[in-house]
Amino acid sequence: MTKTFPIIAVFTAADTLCQLLQPVCSQVEIAGSIRRHTHRVKDIEIVCVPKPQPDLLGEPNYNPLLIEEQLHKIGIATFTKNGPKYKAFTFNNFPVDLFITTPEQWGLIFTIRTGPALFSKKAVTARKYGGYLASDLKIKDGRVWRGKASLQTPTERDFFSHLSCGWIPPALRSLTIGAYP
């Protein structure tokens, strides 16, 4: 059985971690069960966007190494997962899942990582297959696609505009699974 913790203890650690990441992030927010206000949670989930740095052509580059360097500065040296878009580690004795994205993908990634898992699955599944996503769209590589065109979802509401269920506040998402065709 997975260990769970009272939300207030985990929220305090999550909020502290967000504040410590803020200097290198243009966006950083608590997601997961904490954001849904469940009474007990099993981990901290955070979604962030590194501050952009211009590449050689002056285009913004959202380098995940900024995040990793900041984590090392605050004393996180051991990762159980350490990829460019996902890092898993322990902070203040709580497991952490850190998801790194871009401004264009924020709405989709933040929605999925807020969950719960069944809601997220329905949100990325086309209506013709029993999900909420418009049937002319697909999710691939953390983006919404219509044919060969990638659609930007800089906010959750932008992503929800592609769903048949309409906007649902995080705390109500587990209650609404199956409530919409």
Confidence category of residue 40, pLDDT binned at 50, 70, 90: very high
CA distance 140 to 142: 5
pLDDT of res. 57? 82
Those residues with Cβ within 8 angstroms of residue 20's Cβ, 6 or more apart along the chain or in another chain: 70, 74
Spatial contact of 96 and 16, defined as CB atoms under 8 Å apart = no
Amino acid at 164: S
CATH of 5-100, one of 3.30.460.10, 3.40.630.30, 3.30.1370.60, 3.40.50.720: 3.30.460.10
> How much is the mean pLDDT over the chain?
93
Confidence category of residue 160, pLDDT binned at 50, 70, 90: very high
Whether pLDDT at 104 is above 60 = yes
| Mean pLDDT of the 57-61 span | 82
pLDDT of res. 56? 81
The CATH-assigned architecture of domain 106-172 is 2-Layer Sandwich (3.30)
pLDDT of res. 178? 56
- How, if at all, do strands 138-140 and 94-100 pair? unpaired
Report CA 24 to chain centroid distance, whole Å: 17
Those residues with Cβ within 8 angstroms of residue 119's Cβ, 6 or more apart along the chain or in another chain: 168, 173, 174, 176, 177
Tokens of 5: 């913790």
pLDDT of res. 148? 96
Between 168 and 1, name the one with better pLDDT.
Answer: 168
The pLDDT > 90 percentage for the chain reads: 87
Domain residues of the chain, as ranges? 5-100, 106-172
Spatial contact of 118 and 146, defined as CB atoms under 8 Å apart = no
Whether a cis peptide bond, with omega within 30° of 0, leads into 23 is no
pLDDT of res. 88? 98
